Amino acid sequence: MTLLLPLEGLRVLDFSQFLAGPYAALKLADLGADVVKVERAGSGDLSRQLYLTDTRIGGESTIFHAINRNKRSVAVDMKNEADRAALCGLIKGADVVLQNFRPGVMDRLGFGYDAVRAINPRIVYGSVTGYGTEGPWVDLPGQDLLAQARSGMMWLTGGAEDGPVAVGLPIGDILAGAALAHGVLALLFRRERQGVGGLVETSLMEVLADLQFELLTTWLNDGGRMPKRSAQNPAHAYLAAPYGVYATADGHVAIAMGKLDLLAEITGLDAATAGLDAFAARDVIKAGLAVRLAEQPTDHWMAAFIAADIWAAPVLDWQGFAASGMFETLDMLHEVQRGDVKLRTTRLPIKIDGQRPASDRAAPALGDANGLLAKGWG
């Protein structure tokens, strides 16, 4: 059965670059929207040359291909009046405009929310910033690592004896993009019901605060008492033993939940240690478990834990994850192509009517849709 994509016919004009805004646009594109990137003539989105490694695909970075597949591109000169007029024409026919520049940049370019709304009153306008649109941090670089540092999350991650630990991927950018897509869809629904467009805004700082809502709520209602990160096998600043990640004889295992007396029986942990208070003696108990778990390989422990219904998992790298077959089980990988350029990448992480939306169209060549500037959406 042919899948009816829910955003088929939706037109998105995306001024954003790098990750946060383009991630929102990617989600909309995967759901059927026609997403047209607005790029600088000659150089394009800066992420075209933002190399994570020395791997290039079609002369461009893997990050650009990953975040911009299934889109089209117009290359414009913002100082050129003809190009600016053409963009205004595209805005008239668009449903959504996205941007993730620092506050004030789009206004100076003449494409801020008020200017765009004057052209198209029904527009849904989505904006991502680093720290919001006012306050002491408003003009600071809104970059993921820096936002992690300022949000408290980097301090929270790791053990009591560690320095701050950053998440190993741009989590703020990705969450901000997801939140923006969420807000855009909500405003599109409101427009369908009430006939008005609107502005949705988010920031790296907002989504990183929201990510920590569980722990922040505890802190805010606990007299401001700071959590003490576990010095032994850390994983969560508040949770009691055995919650943590432990070395085995040949790898690592993560333990989320399990009765300490049952864990003691399986691992050989002495009863006195297992009988201590799981909060007050968290590090002592975890240290004892760490000694026992290091004596046998991961598969040995996992077989015992699964049989005893202890919530645990082996710590896999990407090779281990791929070897598990879950990519295939979930149908989460596909190949996209642009001419001779081919790329394996992930797919939209939801299904619609039992099917996962997919397009084999890779990231656009710079200006591949410049015909739109002359004739409009068509």
pLDDT of 224 strictly over 90: no
Tokens of 281: 């003696």
Residues ≥6 apart with Cβ < 8 Å to 21:
14, 15, 98, 99, 100, 126, 128, 177, 180
pLDDT of 52 strictly over 70: no
Place of tokens 């949770």: 239
The topology (CATH level 3) of 244-323 is formyl-coa transferase, domain 3 (3.30.1540)
The predicted pLDDT at position 58 comes to 82
Question: What does the pLDDT average to over 200-219?
Answer: 97
Question: What does the pLDDT average to over 64-83?
Answer: 96
pLDDT of 13 strictly over 70: yes
237-293 residue pLDDT tens: 889 999 999 999 999 999 998 899 999 999 999 999 999 999 999 999 999 999 999
16 and 47 in contact (C-beta within 8 Å)?
no
pLDDT of 148 strictly over 90: yes
7-16, 28-37, 57-66, 123-132: least confident range: 57-66
pLDDT bracket for residue 51 (50, 70, 90): low
pLDDT bracket for residue 50 (50, 70, 90): confident
pLDDT of 53 strictly over 90: no
What is 116-147 written as a DSSP string? HHHH-TT-EEEEEESS-SSSTTTTS---HHHH
pLDDT of 354 strictly over 80: yes
Question: What does the pLDDT average to over 61-69?
Answer: 92
pLDDT of 138 strictly over 80: yes
The predicted pLDDT at position 178 comes to 98
173 and 20 in contact (C-beta within 8 Å)?
yes
**Rounded Cα distance, 243 and 257, in Å:** 6
The predicted pLDDT at position 312 comes to 98
The predicted pLDDT at position 147 comes to 98
Question: What does the pLDDT average to over 111-128?
Answer: 98
The mean pLDDT value of the chain amounts to 95
Tokens of 307: 């049989």
**Rounded Cα distance, 256 and 310, in Å:** 8
**Rounded Cα distance, 270 and 255, in Å:** 18
116 and 124 in contact (C-beta within 8 Å)?
no
By annotation, the residues acting in catalysis are 173
pLDDT bracket for residue 341 (50, 70, 90): confident
Question: What does the pLDDT average to over 315-339?
Answer: 96
The predicted pLDDT at position 356 comes to 94
Question: What does the pLDDT average to over 22-28?
Answer: 98
Amino acid at 362: A
Has this prediction a pTM greater than 0.85?
A: yes
pLDDT of 232 strictly over 80: yes
Task: Place domain 11-211+330-375 in its CATH homologous superfamily.
Answer: Crotonobetainyl-coa:carnitine coa-transferase; domain 1 (3.40.50.10540)
Q: pLDDT: is 61 or 97 the higher one?
A: 97
Other beta carbons within 10 angstroms of residue 67's beta carbon come to: 26
Q: Residue ranges per domain, the chain?
A: 11-211+330-375, 244-323
Question: What does the pLDDT average to over 140-167?
Answer: 94
